[in-house]
Structure 1
Amino acid sequence: MNLVLTVLEITAPVFLLAAIGFTWVRMGFDYQIDFVTRLAMTLSVPCLIFTALMKTEIDPAALTALSLAAVAAYAALTAVTALAIWGLKLEMRSYLSPLIFGNTGNLGLPLALFAFGEAGLSYAVVVFAVMAVWNFTFGVWIVSGGGSVVRALKEPLLWATILGGIFLSQGWQTPLFLTNTLELVGQLAIPLMLITVGVAVARLRPGSIRLASWLSVLKVVLCVAIAWVTGRAFGLDDVAFAVLVLQISTPVAVTSYLLAVKYGADADAVAGLVVVSTLLSVLLLPALLAVLL
């Protein structure tokens, strides 16, 4: 019973905030999702990443091990998922990215924070950064049918990660007034992203639910299995291992839908994956946390 209550305490704020966004839209209120997403991805999330890395007391070697494990896990997931999509004779540019890249920002970061505290958040931003770089290079290239792989160099979160890593390795700190300001801006990220998840799900019009359901289950199985094996192979400590598995196992990100719309992939199919995998995560993530805690 105590474990159940602990898991509910961790996951309830996540889904309640998403429910606020969902209800907000269903009540007919306006929500500028493009503006909020841009604000989060270009300002609040980079500030969150930078301050989390700069202030972490985790051994840099442990963060390096997690970074390598995340790269290896995403590489393996990419290869296995591509093979599965090829075997199922589905369109690679529409299905590959959504089945690889989870909602590591909107859901993964707050879950890691609520479940494992500041140490969990520090680990989670590393996995999120690896995912984001891979998504905005290889992911965009796949979805667009040949997009630029240098897009990542324009992403503030990449530079926030690099600067945060430098400050961490050198033991540097920004002046207190600046640190406080960056932390306040970073604190916007988690509630904004969670509310935006609910808004995005409320506005999506999914395509084939049956195919989306099977693929969502396939994504869960592949993500959990690959992250689990990779985390053990790299000998990660308990918290880093749990965060790696949790982050990689998050449902399909709304970003995948936005990229499909932008580059002319099958947006309805991706919308179906977002909705079904997000609903599936209501059961999956608490169960996964119960195993990992």
Structure 2
Amino acid sequence: MLSTFIHTLYQVFLPISLPVIGGALIKRFKSIETKPLSTLSLYLLSPALIFETLMHADISYGDVTQTVMFTVLNMLLLWGLAAMLGKTLLLPAAERAGLTLVALFTNCVNYGLPLVLLAFGQAGLDKASVYVILQIIIVNTIGVYFAARSHFSMKQAVLSIFKLPSVYAAVLAILLRTSGVLLPPSLEEGVSMVSGAYSSVALFILGAQMVSVNAGSSGRAVYTAASQKAFYAGMALRLVLSPLASALLLLIIGIHGTLFNVILILSSMPAAVNAVILAEQFDAAPKIVTRCILWTTLASFLVLPLLIGILS
């Protein structure tokens, strides 16, 4: 087990750590703004990666069906666990909303996709594409509901989907693939060049965002008893309960092989940075969400190598 853990660290997490550390150092000492890079990743690199992956992905109808089934059931399961913990701990409404965001939404795009590619190769990335597209849609619809609750606008949430270029890229790739239309070789090479830049830029952004999150939660912040309970509950949900619940659900559905490994890793990722954006916008305990993002990300560099080693 120890040798497998060290091997996974060396083969998978060492390459990932370099751009993450680079992003953290440049953010710390040069105070760069990550918003332009995030825009580049969201509107160009990520759609190119999704498009290229879906155009050539070795995925079956059964893979798609099982992934959709797992995503919906896992969301409901984690929602129920977060609600139960929130009521048991007598958390205020804002803390319960923040706990739900931490439980449900993982950093499966900026962190998960590069990790899956390194750990499981192109076959793993193919399997991951459907799950990631579903997560992007859910975060921008149901995520808004969980964060806003009382002043939720279904119309705004639905319209937000149509602002996501990755969704259009996925639809275009599916249409081209089902119709048998191929891109000209020169155009396909250009898309490949753009998508190839995704991993390093996404991991660079992750490192810079970790420094920003840390700065945002530093200082003399005072945490109440309720916020402390919400923080520890969020850590337990994301690092322990979520992987266990996901593994059990995957076994019940009957998912196995590479698809099992990929979905389990993606559903066990640390809390998504996007969660704090929703928490801040709708006052869903953003300080608690911020702390959970930082510490689940740091803990993932120990937890995920162990999980990948076990799956290997």
TM-score w.r.t. the length of structure 2 is: 0.86
Report the more deviating stretch, 65-74 or 232-241. Answer: 65-74
Q: Secondary structure at the match of 2:255?
A: coil
Q: Secondary structure at the match of 2:141?
A: helix
Unpaired segments ≥5 residues, structure 2: none
Are 2:279 and 2:289, in contact at CA under 8 Å, matched by a contact in 1? yes
Contact 1:56 1:168 in 2 (8 A): no
| Post-superposition offset of 1:126 | 1.5
Residue 167 of structure 2 aligns with which residue?
Answer: 158
Using the TM superposition, name which of 81-90 and 234-243 deviates more: 81-90
1:235 equivalent to 2:237? Answer: no
Change (3 A) 1:96 1:22: same
Letter in 1 for 2:12: I
Candidates 18, 21, 24, aligned match of 2:20: 18
- 3-state SS, counterpart of residue 149 of structure 1: helix
The equivalent of 1:98 in structure 2 is: 102
CA-CA distance at 1:232 after TM superposition: 1.6
Q: In the superposition, relative to structure 1, how do residues 240 and 167 fare at CA in structure 2: closer, same or farther (>3 Å)? A: farther
109, 114, 118: which is aligned to 1:110? 114
Residues 110 and 225 of structure 1: CA distance in aligned 2, closer, same or farther (over 3 Å)? same
Is 2:264 aligned against 1:263? no
Amino acid at match of 2:148: S
- Please list, as runs of the form range in 1=range in 2, the aligned pairs for 1:20-59 lying within 5 A after superposition: 20-27=22-29, 29-59=30-60
3-state SS, counterpart of residue 7 of structure 1 = helix
Distance in 1 (CA, whole Å) between partners of 2:84 and 2:259 is: 28
Q: Counterparts in 2 of 1:205-220, with a 5 A limit?
A: 205-206=216-217, 208=223, 211=229, 212-220=231-239
Q: Does residue 157 of structure 2 align to residue 149 of structure 1?
A: yes
The answer to whether the 8 Å contact 2:41/2:202 transfers is: yes
Whichever residue aligns with residue 14 of structure 1, its letter is I
Paired residue type of 2:240: V
Alignment-mate amino acid for residue 63 of structure 2: A
- Name the residue aligned to 1:254: 273
Q: Paired residue for 2:300?
A: 281
Q: 1:22-55: CA deviations, max 9, x gaps? A: 111222x132211111221122111101110111
Percent of residue pairs identical: 25
Q: Deviations over 1:159-185 (max 9, x none)?
A: 222333334444443222222122222
Give the partner amino acid of 2:17.
F
Question: Which residue identity does 1:149 align to in structure 2?
Answer: A
Matched residue of 2:157: which SS?
coil
Corresponding residue of 1:176:
185
Q: Give the superposition deviation at 1:213.
A: 4.1
Give me the whole-angstrom Cα distance separating, in 1, the residues matched to 2:206 and 2:129. Answer: 18
Hey, what's the Cα distance between the residues in 2 that align with 1:97 and 1:214? Answer: 12
Provide closer, same or farther for how the CA distance between residues 62 and 202 of structure 1 changes in structure 2, counting only shifts above 3 A.
same
Residue 128 (structure 2) aligns with = 124
Find the aligned partners of 2:4 and 2:44 in 1 and give their Cα distance: 36
CA-CA distance at 1:130 after TM superposition: 1.3
C-alpha contact 2:49 2:198 (8 A) present in aligned 1: yes
Deviation, structure 1 residue 278: 0.8
How far is 1:110 from its partner? Answer: 0.7
| SS of match in other structure, 1:250 | coil
Q: For structure 1, which runs of at least 5 residues remain unmatched after alignment?
A: none
Kindly name which structure, 1 or 2, has the bigger radius of gyration based on alpha carbons. 2
Aligned length: 292
State whether residues 57 and 127 of structure 2, in contact with CA within 8 Å, keep that contact through their aligned partners in structure 1.
no
CA–CA distance in structure 2, aligned partners of residues 71 and 175 of structure 1 = 37
TM-score, structure 1 as length reference? 0.91
Cα distance in 2 between the residues matched to 1:96 and 1:153: 24
How far did 1:129 drift?
1.3
RMSD, aligned α-carbons: 2.1
Q: Which amino acid aligns with 2:167?
A: L
